[in-house]
Structure 1
């Protein structure tokens, strides 16, 4: 049973540029402009009109966009929930300008061991994350630690939780790695790793969408009976001011917005592609978290029930439930 028929999330790529070179991501390899404030103003109004509730200003590294605070202010004035994930290299520089503008602020951390994290990011990021935590806390912010989980680092969850998150009263978000295109992510998760993640998801200040675990047990999305609702739940906007369909990672077709996002999204041409969500050959086996998260939220099925406890837990801790009412 479908609960929500309109898009609820926008993945707004403010730039594809990045100041890190993560081994499990290829976005930093792409040339890219930056979104303009004028385009964003109109797009955000249209997103609100379409029913979108959450805007994820993403990249690349979103803090590379010098007008990011202005973009966030525009979204907040419209009552939209804002979220940013950053490697924290630039956060100390811009923290005061971002204060109060980000509802869900995530600092990426791949290991509780400095050298390991820095190696995965291709630069010295660990100390900046630690510095950024202290700055954010002094400003009254409560960032989350986004920990991308692989088979080889699942054993580090305890150290990340006890040494970094609990002492700073931060939420630890467990983000199971996903495969896409030709990006190498290592071995697939063993049943033991999946069980460990599920157990940790029930602990204090730890968030794991348990539907991610169930989806991996089920072999990902299946085109004959898709769980993915990427096209109808998530609007992807590129730095070139285009809608990307059916999702960023597949990116089969792009449509220039030209200040007409509302009409464009509702057009027959776009809706024909939306109707193919989860059914294209490349969708077989997909488990991309950023599209599955909203997919689990709009349709009552076993994944909806798996996701519900963790969704309630996280929104209660962060207080964002008030904005979703």
Structure 2
């Protein structure tokens, strides 16, 4: 049963450029412009009209955009819930400017072992994450640690939780790795690892959407009975101001926004593609978290119920639940 009939999330790619070279991502390989203040100002007005609640300023590395603090401020002026994930390299530079403007600030950290984390990210950023935590806490911010879970690094969950998150009163977000296109992420998560993640999801100051586990146990999205609602729950805007449909990772078409996102979204070509969400050949077996999360939120099914406890736990912890109803 569909509960919400409008998009709730915007994945706003401010640039595809990145100062890391993560092995499990290909975005950093793409040439890219940066979004403009003018286009963001116009699009935010239309996103509000479309019913979007959350703006995820993403990339690439979003802090490479020199006006990122202004972009986030614009979103807050429209009462959006804001979220931003960074590898930490540039956070010390922008920390003061971002203070109080990002509701869900995430620092990527995949291991408590400096060498392992830096190897996964392709750049020496471990020390910058540690420094970013210190600076953010001193500013009164409440960042989260975003931990990408691979088959080989699950032993690091307890170490990061115990030695980094709990002492700093940070939430540890467990983000199971996913494959897309030709990007290889190593061995798929085993049944044993998924069971281990289910255990950790129930611990204090840890967030993991348990529907992610259930979806993987079911073999991911199936085109004959899709759970994915990427196109109708999420709006994707590219750095060159295009609407990407039905999602970034598997998107088949991009439409020039041309100052009228609202009309474009409701146009026949876009709506036709949205009806194909979860049904394209590339959608078979998909487990892409950033589109499954909003998909679970807009339609009541077994994944909605699986996602509910952990999602509610996180929104209460972060204090964003009130904003969802405004």
Normalised-by-shorter TM-score class: over 0.9
Aligned to 2:144: 144
Tell me the residue number matched to 2:318.
318
Aligned to 2:282: 282
Distance 1:174 1:129 in 2: 17
Output the CA distance in 2 between the equivalents of 1:195 and 1:250.
28
Partner of 2:123: 123
> Partners in 2 of 1:178 and 1:261 — Cα distance?
30
Deviations 1:61-110 (A, max 9, x none): 00000111111111000000000000010000110000010000000001
Residues of 2 paired with 1:27 and 1:192: CA distance? 30
Match of 2:133 in 1: 133
Q: Distance in 1 between matches of 2:183 and 2:271?
A: 29
After superposition, residues 168-187 of structure 1 pair within 5 angstroms as 168-187=168-187
SS at match of 1:31: coil
How far, CA to CA, are the matches of 1:284 and 1:55 in structure 2?
Answer: 27
Q: Equivalent residue for 2:61?
A: 61
Q: Deviations over 1:137-164 (max 9, x none)?
A: 0111010000000111112111110011
- The residue aligned with 2:302 is 302
Partner in structure 2 of residue 215 of structure 1? 215
Report the counterpart of residue 189 of structure 1 in structure 2: 189
Runs of 4 or more off by more than 2 Å in structure 1? none
Q: Partners of 1:206 and 1:250 in 2: how far apart?
A: 29
**Residue 159, structure 1, aligned to residue 159, structure 2:** yes
CA deviation string 1:237-289 (max 9, x = no partner): 00000001111001210000010100000111100000100001110000000
How do 1:220-231 residues align onto structure 2 when only pairs under 5 Å count?
Answer: 220-231=220-231
Find the aligned partners of 1:147 and 1:122 in 2 and give their Cα distance: 16
RMSD between superposed Cα atoms in Å = 0.5
Partners of 2:280 and 2:19 in 1: CA distance: 33
Match of 1:244 in 2: 244
- Counterpart CA distance in 1 for 2:174 and 2:27 is 21
Please give the alpha-carbon distance, in whole angstroms, between the structure 1 residues aligned to 2:269 and 2:299: 24
User: What is residue 36 of structure 1 aligned with on the other side?
Assistant: 36
1:108 is aligned to 108
User: 2: CA distance between counterparts of 1:312 and 1:239?
Assistant: 32
- Residue aligning to 1:84: 84
SS for the counterpart of 2:180 is coil
Residue 10 in structure 1 maps to residue 10 in structure 2: yes
Which stretches in structure 1 are left out of the alignment for 5+ residues? none
Separation (CA, whole Å) in 2 of partners of 1:300 and 1:254: 29
**3-state SS of the aligned residue for 1:154?**
coil
Distance (whole Å) between structure 2 residues aligned to residue 275 and residue 63 of structure 1: 34
Q: How many matched pairs? A: 325
